Amino acid sequence: MSKDMNMGQYLVSSAEERPDFAAIAAWIPHGASVLDLGCGDGSLLRYLKETRRVRGYGVEINDVDIVMCIANGVNVIQNDLESGLSDFEDNSFDFVILSQTLQATRHTEALVNEMLRVGREGIVSFPNFGYWKNRVNVLRGHMPVSDELPYQWYDTPNVHLCTLHDFEMFCGRHRVSILDRRVMTGKFEMKLLPNLLGSTAVYRFQRGI
Partner 1 sequence: MNTTNSIGIVRAQRAQFDTPLVFRSGAVLPRYELVYETYGKLNADKSNAILICHALSGHHHVAGVYADQPKNVGWWDNMVGPGKPIDTDKFFVVGLNNLGGCSGSTGPSSLDPAIGKPYGASFPMITVEDWVESQARLADRLGIKQFAAVIGGSLGGMQALQWSLAYPERVRHVLAIASAPRLTAQNIAFNDVARNAILTDPDFHGGNYYQHNVVPTRGLRLARMLGHITYLSDDAMADKFGRELRSEQLNYGYDVEFQIESYLRYQGDKFAGLFDANTYLLMTKALDYFDPAHDFGGDMNKAFARSKSDYLVVSFTTDWRFSPQRSREIVQTLLHNRRNVSYAEITSTHGHDSFLMEHPHYFDVMRAYLDNVASEVSR
Q: Give the residues lining the site for partner 1 (CB under 8 A).
A: 1-5, 33, 55, 57, 63, 66-71, 73, 75-79, 87-89, 92
Closest to partner 1 by CB, 19 or 42: 42
Q: How many CB atoms lie within 10 A of CB 197?
A: 18
Closest to partner 1 by CB, 66 or 161: 66
Least distance between partner 1 and beta carbon 27 (Å) = 22
Burial of 175 (0-12, 13-18, 19+ CB in 10 A): exposed
d(CA 145, CA 134): 8
The runs of H, that is alpha helices, within the chain are 19-27, 43-52, 63-71, 108-118, 132-139, 164-173, 194-197
Least distance between partner 1 and beta carbon 85 (Å) = 11
Least distance between partner 1 and beta carbon 169 (Å) = 34
Contact 204, 172 (CB under 8 A): no
Closest to partner 1 by CB, 83 or 177: 83
Closest to partner 1 by CB, 119 or 194: 119
d(CA 44, CA 121): 17
Least distance between partner 1 and beta carbon 160 (Å) = 26
